[in-house]
A and B are shown apart, each in its own frame.
Chain A
Amino acid sequence: MSADREKVYNRIAMLRAERGVSRRDLAAALDVHYQTVGYLERGEYSPSLHLALRIADYFEVPVEVVFSLNPFPRLGATETTNDGSRS
């Protein structure tokens, strides 16, 4: 399988910045190397289900808020429905 097909998008960097958590603090809380957090944020490493659940648990959000198989919409981006209204 190609790496593209296995790509998992995440919002770790955004959540981390929002909560004011450093990479090293997050790594210490998750018991991983701090570089692993960087690789996760850059999308160069897809975590195991266990690590993904622990990350979601750390930020106290559902796992689908942090991870997705499709790119997350950019902040401020809105989708327009067929009838012209914004969602």
Chain B
Amino acid sequence: MKPRNRREERMLAVLERETPRYQTRKGRRRLVVAAAGCLGLMWAAAVVCWYLAPSTAAMVTTFVLCGLALVVGAQLWGMLHIVTRGTASLPEHLLDERQVRERLSAHPIAHRLTLLLLLAVFLAVGLALQEERPEVPSAAAVVLLFALMATVWSLPMLVTAWRMADPPPEEEAV
């Protein structure tokens, strides 16, 4: 768990910040739901692009939804890092054996969810392509790809935050 450089020292210092509102399992799960909502905005932008692009309405809606998802999502991402104490994000040499085990147990679940997500996207795109449309807007494909990448990238963190037990209460000075 020894930091190897100043950057890692700073990362560990940031992760020691206390966020009492979100330290409990309930609070952490609220953050996960909010982060999933941000990802949902990106998926909504992809659907809007699919049906409305190319048009000004589609462009404006996509920029607003994706911008909102990025701004709010970045805040939530930082909070999730802190409440999980970096379990899903830090290099392995900065974690102890419990944290490594938590990370390893979250990954198979995230992997299964990714497979389900890919299957759902495959079916949804297949169904949408059956509708009478001359061509699929390239904007929709790009936004869909970004939404997919962001979701797959976020899943290990979201699963880890969702599953973590309540941390032990702070002790009084010995």
With an 8 Å Cβ cutoff, the count of chain B residues facing the other chain is 15
- Chain A residues closer than 8 Å to B174, beta-carbon distance: 16-17, 20-22
Residue of B nearest to A40 (CB): B98
Interface string of A16-32 (1 = CB under 8 A from B): 11001111000000011
- Chain B residues closer than 8 Å to A35, beta-carbon distance: 85, 167-168
On B, residues with C-beta under 8 Å from A are 1-2, 85, 95-99, 165, 167-169, 171, 173-174
Distance, CA A16 to CA B120, complexed state (A): 52
Q: Check B99–A36 contact: CB distance below 8 A.
A: yes
Distance, CA A17 to CA B173, complexed state (A): 10
Distance, CA A51 to CA B97, complexed state (A): 9
Stretch at the interface among A41-49, A64-72, A74-82: A41-49
- Chain B residues closer than 8 Å to A33, beta-carbon distance: 1, 85, 95-96, 98-99
Min distance, Cβ A75 to any Cβ of chain B, angstroms = 18
Given contacts A31-B1, A33-B98, A36-B96, contact A44 B85 (CB under 8 A): no
Min distance, Cβ B12 to any Cβ of chain A, angstroms = 10
- Chain B residues closer than 8 Å to A22, beta-carbon distance: 171, 173-174
Distance, CA A79 to CA B85, complexed state (A): 44
Residue of B nearest to A35 (CB): B167
Residue of B nearest to A44 (CB): B165
Min distance, Cβ A1 to any Cβ of chain B, angstroms = 15
Q: Does A58 contact B (CB under 8 A)?
A: no
- Chain B residues closer than 8 Å to A16, beta-carbon distance: 174
Can you offer 7 A-B residue contacts whose CB atoms are under 8 A? Answer: A17-B174, A31-B2, A35-B168, A37-B168, A41-B168, A42-B168, A50-B97
Q: Check A39–B98 contact: CB distance below 8 A.
A: yes
Closest 8 CB pairs of A and B: A38-B168, A32-B96, A36-B98, A22-B174, A35-B167, A31-B1, A45-B98, A33-B96
- Chain B residues closer than 8 Å to A44, beta-carbon distance: 165
4 new A-B contacts at CB < 8 Å, known A23-B171, A48-B97: A31-B2, A33-B99, A39-B98, A39-B165
- Chain B residues closer than 8 Å to A17, beta-carbon distance: 174
- Chain A residues closer than 8 Å to B98, beta-carbon distance: 32-33, 36, 39, 45
Distance, CA A51 to CA B85, complexed state (A): 20
Q: Check A32–B171 contact: CB distance below 8 A.
A: no
Residue of B nearest to A51 (CB): B97
